[in-house]
Amino acid sequence: MSGPQIGVLALQGDVREHLAALRAVGADPVPVRRRPELDAVDALLIPGGESTTISHLLRELELVEPLRARLAEGMPAYGSCAGMILLASEIIDAGVPGRAAIPLSGIDMAVRRNAFGRQVNSFEGDLDFDGLAQPVHAVFIRAPWVERVGDGVQVLAQAAGHPVAVRQGSVLATSFHPEVTGDRRVHGLFVDIVTGAA
């Protein structure tokens, strides 16, 4: 029996790595670039990259409102790094008008772009992650952090005093990149969320 069909938004970022990680934990992952592909999947993963560039491409491909609608209907989603930014209800320092990152309102939270600094400030570290027995080795690359969470948002991990992994219902977000470490537990958690096991 095949696992849930999870789309990976294939506009920018570690698309191949996320597809491989989801496949390794039992999902049936597919790239998503167009409306019919979005409509066909059970859930969506939004990878890292540049949140303003991904937002521009979402506008160009007329995916913003369909994606917001699927999230509002309860479609499970997971966003890493730029994906976390896009899943927020409020983006602090969203970018220049007309090219700004678009909040898709999957999670009631305010996220600050590039909160840890520029590319040269990228770092790695081990984080306690609620629900996982052993710490997660987290890779932060021009990463955001969460400055405010609303009611019903669960903080799963923190770094530098700020939430860096959160969950609200069936929507999960991390400011780090689990797809680059070989540790599949975060992807496994997302698959469990999609199948209703978590």
What are the structural domain ranges in the chain? 6-195
One of 17, 18, 179, 187 is an active-site residue; which one? Answer: 179
Residue 107 known to bind ligand: no
Task: Tokens for 71, please give them.
Answer: 């999230």
Whether 187 sits among the annotated catalytic residues: the reply is no
Verify whether residue 81 is a known catalytic residue: yes
Residue-wise pLDDT for 3-14, tens only, equals 999 999 999 999
Give CA–CA dist 31/69, Å, rounded. Answer: 19
**Average pLDDT for residues 108-126, to the nearest whole number?**
85
User: Tens digits of per-residue pLDDT, 80-95?
Assistant: 999 999 999 999 988 8
Say what angle helices 185-195 and 15-24 make with each other, to 10 degrees: 70
pLDDT at 147: 96
CA pair distance 154, 46, nearest whole angstrom: 19
- 50 assigned ligand-binding residue: yes
Interval 55-62 mean pLDDT:
96
CB atoms closer than 10 angstroms to residue 161: 6
Select which of 17, 18, 56, 81 is catalytic.
Answer: 81
**CA separation for the pair 68, 72 (Å, rounded):** 6
Q: What beta strand segments (E) does 60-113 contain? A: 77-80, 88-92, 107-112
The answer, as to whether pTM is greater than 0.85, is yes
Q: Is 142 marked within a binding site? A: yes
CB 95 within 8 A of CB 82: no
Closest CA to 96 of 62, 57, 64, 56: 56
Residue 141 assigned as binding residue: yes
Q: Which CATH number fits domain 6-195: 3.20.20.70, 1.20.1260.10, 3.40.50.880, 3.90.110.10?
A: 3.40.50.880
Name the percent of the chain lying above pLDDT 70. Answer: 96
Is 34 annotated as belonging to a binding site?
no
DSSP 12: S
pLDDT of residue 1: 47
pLDDT in tens, 128-184: 999 999 999 999 998 999 999 999 999 999 999 999 999 999 999 999 999 999 999
Mean pLDDT (whole number) for 114-125: 78
Mean of all residue pLDDT scores within the chain: 94
Instruction: For residue 56, indicate whether it is catalytic.
Output: no
Residue in 17, 18, 56, 177 annotated catalytic: 177
In the chain, count H helices and then E strands: 6, 12
